[in-house]
Chain A
Amino acid sequence: MLWLTHFFFVLLCLIPLTNAYADIELKDLGLTKSETTLTPKQVEEQKILETRHSKLKTHEVLGLTTLGFMTATLLTGGSALDSNMHMYLGMATGALYYTTAYYSLTAPKPPGIKDRGNIVWHKRLAWIHFPAMVLAPILGYIYKKNEDDGKKSSSLVKQHSAIAGVGFGAFALSAALMTIDF
């Protein structure tokens, strides 16, 4: 009878051990608890990522809308002295452009992330289209005012369309970089 009790005792010990051997667990891979469980710091990191994602999604939609308005503004440039359409489109483009920029500039970025790939050139091109988007409306306003007052515009003021064109080119390229792989 004693040997039978002993046999069952050994059998009971054996069952969980063989199961443990068969079921590989994450700790068997050498993963630490911090690698498999959520910490408060990680919850915070996810919030940052979600805020960033949401702001950049708005940035994308507004950016493409801005590009549409920018194109319309450029196309109506020839009739700028005959109607106010070019001016109104320009004002809408400006408002959209700065709102687009706001969403990009306020999107939080997790620490330690270095820009890589097309995003680098997307950001670099802002150094061209941003000054153009500051100068073009000012020069356009001065040009129209001079024309209305019958005054002659300076050579810089006459560059309004050229500067706007450069800004448009840089902005369109910047948008294309995020859409197509070159």
Chain B
Amino acid sequence: MFLLIMHPAGAKDLSLSHAKAEYTVTHIFKTVKGVSIDLKGKMVCENKKCEFLVAIGSKSFVSSDSNRDLNLQTILEVTKYPLIMVKGTLSEADLSKDQFDVPSKVSFHGIEKEYTLKIKRSEPFSGQLTLLLEDHNVERPSLLMAKIDNEVPVHFNFDWKE
């Protein structure tokens, strides 16, 4: 009985693998991309429902310029908010669909907001959500008096393994 409680029948534990997150920041003069492969995640599927949590190291994003990465770390207060977290619930049947939306909660810069994570089945999964910097109290960096766009699309590639 005790063992049955600890490991409910049909429950599936999945870990995130081959994961990558890429942000795209747009400024009037340039478009910048930064990549992180420091993603950790877990999904538990039980009774046809899956719940997941993914954590990304805020400090782990690397762009083509080291100075820009340090600026990003300052603005995101990475020591105070070391993780960007995405959590949500989806139906297990969605995982076999070509395309589906997952309502998710994103904790970024210490503020949690709701977003829709758009998932596509390709290599084997890719997803995208568009972060709104000001909603997370992030001071938009500026260059030559012009601020970067408030909308920052974040693209994910990932897989789940048992």
Contact = CB atoms under 8 A, between A and B. Distances in A.
Given A24-B42, A38-B80, A64-B144, A116 B65 contact: yes
Contact of B53 (A24, A42, A53, A113): A24
B48 interface: no
Interface residues of A, number: 42
A32 to B, nearest CB: 11
Interface string A55-74: 01000100010000000000
B21 to A, nearest CB: 15
Interface in B134-156: 143-144
B66 A30 contact: no
Nearest to A18: B8
B73 A24 contact: no
A116 B77 CA distance: 21
Interface stretch (A43-51, A76-84, A90-98): A43-51
Interface in B2-33: 5-6, 8, 11, 29-32
A60 B144 CA distance: 8
B55 A31 contact: yes
Contacts of B29: 179-181
Contacts of B46: 21-22
Contacts of B87: 24
A169 interface: no
Interface residues of B, number: 41
Contact of B44 (A21, A42, A178): A21
A21 B43 CA distance: 11
Contacts of B57: 35
A118 interface: yes
Given A24-B52, A31-B55, A117 B68 contact: yes
A26 interface: yes
Nearest to A14: B5
Interface string B30-50: 111000000011111010000
Interface of A: 10, 13-14, 17-18, 21-26, 28-31, 35-36, 38, 42-43, 45-46, 49-50, 52-53, 56, 60, 64, 109-110, 113-119, 178-181
Minimum-distance CB pairs A-B, first 3: A117-B65, A42-B79, A116-B66
